[in-house]
């Protein structure tokens, strides 16, 4: 007798339907990826297993680091004077620019941040600014040629000028023009604006734009910047759940990089999200952060309360 759930016809149809998904090559677990994740995992393990022995050393190291940590230089976005190569150098889509150079179109760029090349031919240049600032000196373009700098929330296009596009710490885009005219088109649908020589324009990020910028910061490893941007998303959001989503994203980064701050962050979020969808995760992450910070007694008590509140939680197998 056939089992009540055995539907051979449905099984065959689903088998055929899902065949392309089953056969499609998935992302590879490459040696580089394995090494990167291993480092993160075992760094965490070392931190949580050896906190007693290293507590005093870590405190001392932290004190030294605090006094010696270099302050990031603040570029004067309107006055970049680094030397530029005298002749064009070939670049390809996907390349990252890290220094001053002349592009195939003859435009000169000076980079103080992270810039990815999306297009660079004699006829057109499209750069994507992911962080910091890029200054461009663009020769007069012929009809059909273009020069564009994109940020997460603006597209800046020119017709022969000198200008700087900078991603501010707040996540906003600042455009400063020293020669000529540029047109700035906000990505959120607002009308384009023209900025003339000597003028500046700041395009404020929407929560959505800040979220994009936060993810870009995460992708390039700037976790502190990403935390700041996620918090900016939370501050600007009118929706409680969207705000908490952003705070969860910030908290996950803090848990990996700054456990002391993570404790306070998750506790505050757990209180804010009490009874809501993020209550469970925030409460559990607070337990983890306490443990990682070596606050064992507090962690044990917090875990006891967590298990009382969420007895079937997937977070604590």
Partner 1 sequence: MNAQALPMTDVETAPADAEAAFVGRLMAGEDAAFQELYRRHAGDVFRLACRFVYSETEAEEVVQEVFIAAFRYVGQFRGQSRLKTWLYRITVNRALKRRRWWRRRREVGADLLPEGALPLPGPDVRIADRQRLGIVRGLLDGLDARKRAVLVLHELEGLDTKEIADILECPRSTVLTRLSRARHELIDRARAAGVALEEG
Binding site for partner 1 (CB under 8 A): 3, 5-7, 10-11, 13-18, 20-22, 24-27, 29, 33-34, 36-38, 40-42, 44-45, 48-49, 207-208, 211-212, 215-216, 218-219, 239, 241-242, 245, 248, 252, 277, 281, 291, 314-317
> Whose structure tokens read 């089953």?
22
Q: Which residue has the tokens 């179109």?
A: 105
**Which residue number, 3 or 86, has a Cβ lying nearer to partner 1?**
3
Q: How far is the CB of 290 from partner 1 (least distance, A)?
A: 13
Q: 79 or 235: whose CB is closer to partner 1?
A: 235
Q: How far is the CB of 42 from partner 1 (least distance, A)?
A: 8
Nearer to partner 1 by C-beta: 5 or 56? 5
Q: Which is nearer to partner 1, 44 or 159 (CB)?
A: 44
Max Cα-Cα span within the chain? 85
Q: How far is the CB of 31 from partner 1 (least distance, A)?
A: 10
CB of 12 to partner 1, least distance (A): 10
Please, which residue, 161 or 245, has the CB nearer to partner 1? 245
Which C-beta is closer to partner 1: that of 216 or that of 263?
A: 216
Residue 129, number of CB atoms within 10 A of its CB: 24
Report, in Å, the least distance between residue 110 CB and partner 1: 27
Provide the minimum distance between the beta carbon of 277 and partner 1 in the complex, in angstroms, as a whole number.
6
Is-contact 294 271, C-beta < 8 A? no
Q: What is the C-alpha to C-alpha distance for residues 103 and 124, in angstroms, rounded to an integer?
A: 10
DSSP letters for 175-201: EEEEESEEEEEETTSPPPEEEETT-EE
Structure tokens at 15: 């088998």
SS3 47: helix
Hey, which residues does 151 pair with through a beta bridge? 154
Residues with Cβ within 8 Å of residue 103, at least 6 apart in sequence: 88, 89, 91, 109, 120, 125
How far is Cα of residue 94 from the mean position of the Cα atoms in its chain?
18
């Amino acid at each position: 007798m056939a089992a009540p759930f055995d539907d051979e016809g449905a099984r065959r149809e689903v088998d055929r339907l899902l065949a392309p998904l089953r056969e499609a090559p998935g992302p590879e677990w490459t040696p580089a990826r394995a090494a990167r994740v291993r480092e993160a995992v075992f760094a965490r393990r070392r931190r949580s297993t050896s906190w007693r022995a290293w507590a005093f050393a870590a405190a001392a190291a932290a004190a030294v680091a605090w006094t010696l940590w270099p302050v990031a230089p603040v570029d004067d976005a309107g006055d970049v004077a680094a030397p530029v190569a005298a002749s064009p150098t070939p670049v390809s889509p996907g390349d990252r620019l890290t220094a001053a150079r002349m592009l195939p179109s003859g435009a000169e760029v000076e980079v103080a941040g992270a810039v990815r090349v999306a297009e660079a031919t004699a006829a057109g240049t499209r750069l994507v600014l992911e962080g910091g600032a890029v200054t461009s000196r663009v020769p007069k373009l012929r009809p059909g040629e273009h020069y564009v700098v994109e940020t997460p929330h603006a597209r800046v296009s020119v017709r022969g000028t000198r200008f700087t596009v900078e991603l501010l710490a707040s996540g906003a885009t600042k455009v400063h023009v020293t020669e000529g005219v540029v047109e700035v088109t906000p990505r959120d649908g607002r009308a384009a604006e023209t900025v003339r020589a000597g003028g500046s324009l700041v395009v404020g990020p929407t929560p959505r734009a800040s979220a994009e910028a936060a993810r870009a910061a995460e992708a390039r490893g700037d976790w502190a910047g990403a935390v700041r941007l996620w918090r900016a998303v939370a501050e600007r959001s009118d929706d409680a759940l969207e705000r908490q989503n952003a705070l969860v994203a910030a908290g996950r980064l803090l848990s990996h990089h700054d456990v002391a701050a993570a404790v306070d962050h998750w506790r505050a979020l757990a209180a804010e999200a009490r009874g809501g969808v993020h209550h469970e995760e925030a409460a559990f992450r607070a337990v983890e952060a306490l443990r990682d910070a070596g606050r064992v007694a507090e962690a044990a008590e917090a875990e006891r309360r967590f298990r009382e509140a969420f007895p079937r939680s997937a977070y604590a197998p």
